[in-house]
Amino acid sequence: MGATPAQPKRAAAEDPPAVHARCHGDQRAFPPEVCHPLRLGSSRIGLWRLRARTERARELGEVQQRRCAQSGKLKEVNDQISGPVGGLGSQRKLSGFAVAVVVPILLTIVLVPYRQTLGLDTVLLLFVLASVVASVLGGVLPALIASVVSFTVANFFFTQPYATLTVASVTELIDLVIFFAVAVLVGVVTEIGARARGRAERARIEAEWLADLGNQDQQPQSVERALSRARVMFSMNQVQLASTDEILASTGERRTGDIEILVPATADLEVRLYGPERLGVDRKLLDSMAQTAARLWRTEQLGEQARRAEELAHIDRLRASLLAAVGHDLRNPLAAITVAAETLRQEGIELSPRDQAELLDTIEEHTQRLNHIIGNLLDASRLRAGAVSVHPQPTDLLEVLTGVLRSGESRVELAIADDLPAFLSDPGLLERVLANLVDNADRHVAEGGPVTIEAHVDGVQVAISVIDHGRGVPPERYGEIFAPFQHFNDQPTTGVGLGLAIARGFTEAMNGTLTPSLTPGGGLTMTVRLEVVDD
């Protein structure tokens, strides 16, 4: 995670890759010659030192020039951004320098009138306090400055002879030396403690970062989650993963005046952080975050490509199944119709009225079969496109069954409860559902066996069951029977295997359910449940 990522060419060859910062608060248009990039040099003590370099703008690539023209301000941060997380920020350091100079002077102004009554030890203790405050705020350098200033003013104003740097008393000289040493040591210890805390904080944050991304109990890893974690970690308002020409993922909202920090992740990806100016951000942690976000995005893209490939493969399988099923199931009825029609049209053949009637019945039967197959294909297309029009209304089951029984030659037995109430459905769609269920049951029952339609009230629903006593389907394969183009039990069947898929689709469109179950004694029971009409 800590390895330096491959960096895009952003500047001259001798310059190291950099994190960039830009301000979006100022919307004024700046000419290119005014848009100077500012480079923040690396510092082991965390102090950001800005240096204007006008000629640097001419060496930036086209992408950076375009960003510069848009934002008006650009700041480059060198590889090792100043200080670890948790170190001393620039505002604290500036405060430390101010305390180092101003407080000793103020103490001198206040204490000089009382130098005859105050002992040197008391004065030096007060100056030590000033050095401690300066070191706590700014570290070793402000503490050193405070020590030098305090040593000088104490020697000049509070040791005899006054107004000179000469020390007449050896004891006072020893006191001054001890004071200077203590003040410097306090600053050094404070700086060491700040750095130790920074390293510990950085390690803690990075450990939390990696643990959070690797936590399998939470939601699956995603680039949005990684960016959201980074936004919280670095106290930013918005974090984005972007390529050179588009934003790929984003979390949070940008605010006016936010600084933009750009962290290269790969040759063509970068992470953009928007928020208040954040000093003391560790570059290694930024690189780790950027590389993790880029890796997750690449993984998501590969997963998406795999899903698309699987979808295409599934479509190809469906297409092959459709062509095979349609080719077989259309060819047989067409062949029967063609033979019957040609026989009727042949001259010189005397056909009895009974033979003619049988041929006409053959044409009618297979025409109905073709119409059923084509209707199922059209219904499947409507379901797939979400174009099913549903008009629910109070429905009488017997009226729907009249159309179902008229349309086929199935051996159907009815077991309808006398007190069956009206229920909500689209009568046309329900007729198609029951017709498909009856047709499916009829093709799987034993020769001459009946198909039973049973209906009763089940709580606030009406349960309509189509029951057969055929070979049935194992319960572990119930999920497969609704897939298009499925045939079970290796039986020669007619139809393209869309009947149950269409029946379930139409039932769900009417806010109902279609569930399979075992028939006592063997077989399959398909049950449609629809809501009873409220009184």
What CATH number is given to the structural domain containing 527?
3.30.565.10
Helix residue ranges, H only, 386-460: 397-407, 427-442
Does residue 340 lie within any of the structural domains?
A: yes
Establish if 220 belongs to a structural domain: no
Global pTM value:
0.42
63 shares its domain with 10? yes
Which parts of the chain register pLDDT below 70?
1-90, 168, 202, 205-206, 209-221, 278-282, 318-329, 407-410, 447-448, 484-497, 535
**Residue-level length of the chain:** 535
pLDDT recorded at residue 280: 55
Q: How far apart are CA 326 and CA 99, in angstroms?
A: 89
Is 100 found in the same domain as 71? no
- Specify the number of domains making up the chain: 4
Residues 100 and 124 in one domain: yes
Point out the domain boundary residue: 288, 318, 348.
Answer: 318
In this structure, the answer to whether residues 403 and 499 fall within a common structural domain is yes
pLDDT value of residue 289: 80
Q: Residues 173, 296: one domain? A: no
Rounded to the nearest 5 percent, the helix, strand and coil shares of the chain are: 50, 15, 35
- Residue 380 in any domain: the answer is yes
pLDDT in tens, 308-348: 998 888 777 766 665 665 665 677 788 889 988 988 888 87
Query: Which residue among 384, 404, 430 closes a domain?
Result: 384
> Which domain, by its residues, includes 237?
1-82+231-318
HSE at residue 27, side-chain half, CA atoms within 13 A, is 2
223 part of a folded domain:
no
* CB atoms near residue 302 (< 10 Å): 10
What whole-number distance in Å separates Cα of residue 338 and Cα of residue 275? 77
Residues in contact with 517: Cβ distance below 8 Å, sequence separation at least 6, in sequence order: 524, 525, 527
Looking at residue 303, its pLDDT comes to 87
Residues 193 and 264 placed together within one structural domain of the fold: no
End position of a domain, from candidates 209, 242, 263:
209
- Measure CA 165 to chain center: 69
Answer whether residue 215 is part of any domain. no
